[in-house]
Amino acid sequence: EIVMTQSPATLSVSPGERATLSCRASQSVSSNLAWYQQKPGQAPRLLIYGASTRATGIPARFSGSGSGTEFTLTISSLQSEDFAVYYCQQYNNWPLWTFGQGTKVEIK
Amino acid sequence: QITLKESGPTLVKPTQTLTLTCTFSGFSLSTSGVGVGWIRQPPGKALEWLALIYWDDDKRYSPSLKSRLTITKDTSKNQVVLTMTNMDPVDTATYYCAQSIAALDYWGQGTLVTVSS
State pLDDT tens for residues B87-115: 999 999 999 999 999 899 999 999 999 99
- Note down pLDDT in tens along chain B; length 117 residues: 999 999 999 999 999 999 999 999 999 999 999 999 999 999 999 999 999 999 999 999 999 999 999 999 999 999 999 999 999 999 999 999 999 998 999 999 999 999 999
Cβ contact, residue pair A46, B104, below 8 Å: yes
Helix or strand holding residue A35 (H, E): strand A33-38
Separation between Cα atoms, residue B85 and residue A70, nearest integer Å: 37
Q: Is residue A45 within 8 Å of residue B107, measured between CB atoms?
A: yes
pLDDT digits (tens, 9 = 90+) for A37-92: 999 999 999 999 999 999 999 999 999 999 999 999 999 999 999 999 999 999 99
DSSP structure class, residue A26 = S
Tell the burial category of B76 from Cβ atoms under 10 Å away from its Cβ (0-12, 13-18, 19+): exposed
Of residues B49, B66, B103, nearest to A49 (C-beta): B103
Of A36, A43, A49, the CB nearest to B108: A43
State the greatest distance between any 2 C-alpha atoms of chain B, in Å, as a whole number: 43
